Amino acid sequence: MQAQKSKQISLKGSTAVVTDFFKFAINTILYQRGVYPADDFHLVKKYGQTVMLTEDAALINYLDKILKQVNEWLLKGNVTQLVLVLLSKDTRTPLERWVFTVDIIRSDDESIPLDDAKPDADIQKEIRHIIKQIVASVTFLPLVYEPMVFNILVYTRDSADVPEKEWLDTDPLAIEASMSQQVKLRSFSTDYHRIGAMVDYRYDPVPSVAEK
């Protein structure tokens, strides 16, 4: 009787986990921050919890196209950051920058035996904590009453093959230091990647009034 082969964790599998996380994190942010109407989203089960996923066909196609390229870059170790920037629709002022950093733990494509790999349950738990933090961000982020749009920035290494007609160098859309507040979120890791998360948001301090 032939013994069943053990499952193995591969670079491709880790890349799929990271790409999938980006998809659901972006959807969660767009929903929670009201960039798209709530009616454009539906409930799905992911990471052991309920998350929101867009039903907007144009947005689905846009995100799929971006994440397909991100997946290819991740496989070659060429992504250092993915940044989701929320901007004022009217003034194009950056209001929030959701920054996801990518660190390479293991660069070769040698599969890791299941017995030596990080348990999938642990990975799912770490991702679940980040998604919950994004959902809870409404408790500390400023209320935004104006319509917003978004940009996705992908920071790559110099060795990355960038399709010229599809991707362009752009402004980082940074928030001025004097008006910036940052909150670090949790991270998650696989055997190949470590993903950090933070949000940088515009904060207009209320001017103090000197007593007479």
What's the CATH number where 171 sits? 3.30.900.10
Percent of the chain with pLDDT over 70: 92
What is the average pLDDT across 165-171? Answer: 81
Q: 91 in a domain, yes or no?
A: yes
What is the average pLDDT across 89-104? Answer: 97
**Domain range for residue 90?**
8-202
The pLDDT score that the predictor gives to residue 211 is 55
Q: How confident is the model at residue 170 (pLDDT cuts 50, 70, 90)?
A: confident
Q: 210 in a domain, yes or no?
A: no
Q: 211 in a domain, yes or no?
A: no
Are 146 and 90 contacting, i.e. CB atoms less than 8 angstroms apart?
yes
Would the pLDDT of 210 be above 70?
no
Structure letter (DSSP) for residue 211: -
Q: 2 in a domain, yes or no?
A: no
pLDDT one-digit tens code per residue, 52-82: 999 999 999 999 999 999 999 999 999 999 9
Q: 17 in a domain, yes or no?
A: yes
> Which has more pLDDT, 113 or 16?
16
What is the average pLDDT across 185-192? Answer: 96
Enumerate the H helices of 33-157 as residue ranges.
57-75, 120-136
Phi, psi dihedral angles at 177 (to 5 degrees): -55, -35
Would the pLDDT of 208 be above 70?
no
The domain tally of the chain equals 1
Q: 1 in a domain, yes or no?
A: no
Bin 157: left if φ > 0, else alpha if -120 < ψ < 50, else beta.
beta
- Tell me which residue of 69, 131, 75 sits closest to 104, measured CA to CA: 75
Burial code (b: 16+ CB inside 10 Å, e: under 16) for 38-52 equals: eeebeeeebbeeebb
pLDDT one-digit tens code per residue, 15-34: 999 999 999 999 999 999 99
